C-alpha cells in the first residue's frame, strides 16, 4: 500500500498518523518514519518496533500495509 492510501483509510476512521500513534502509545515521528520507509515494499521489516507499528496499523485500517504482515506465525 502507498502512504496516501493508508492516510485515506485513517481519515475514514476520523484519525490521522499522529492521532493514531498517540492513541497506540507510539512516537508520532517514529510512525511516520516507519510508514515512509516500508510502504510500497514487499519484504517484512526485521525490527520489532517497525513490525509492531505496521501490524497494528494494518489491523486498524483492515488491510495489510505490507503483504504477509497479518499472517500468524506458527
Residue 1, pLDDT score: 86
| pLDDT tens by residue, the chain, 74 residues | 899 999 999 999 999 999 999 999 999 999 999 999 999 899 999 999 999 999 999 999 999 999 989 887 64
Three state DSSP letters for the chain: CCHHHHHHHHHHCCCCHHHHHHHCCCCHHHHHHHHHHHCCCCCCCCCHHHHHHHHHHHHHHCCCCCCCCCCCCC
Say how many domains are in the chain: 1
Residue 67 in any domain: the answer is: no
User: Residue 25 is part of which domain span?
Assistant: 3-61
Residue 40, pLDDT score: 87
Question: pTM of the predicted model, to two decimals?
Answer: 0.90
Residue 74 in any domain: the answer is: no
Amino acid at each position: 500500500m502507498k502512504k496516501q492510501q493508508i492516510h485515506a483509510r485513517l481519515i475514514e476512521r476520523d484519525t490521522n498518523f499522529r492521532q493514531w500513534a498517540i492513541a497506540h502509545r507510539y512516537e508520532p515521528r517514529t510512525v511516520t518514519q516507519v510508514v515512509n520507509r516500508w510502504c510500497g515494499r514487499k519484504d517484512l521489516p526485521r525490527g520489532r518496533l517497525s513490525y509492531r507499528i505496521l501490524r497494528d496499523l494494518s489491523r486498524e485500517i483492515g488491510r495489510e500495509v505490507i503483504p504477509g504482515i497479518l499472517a500468524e506465525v506458527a
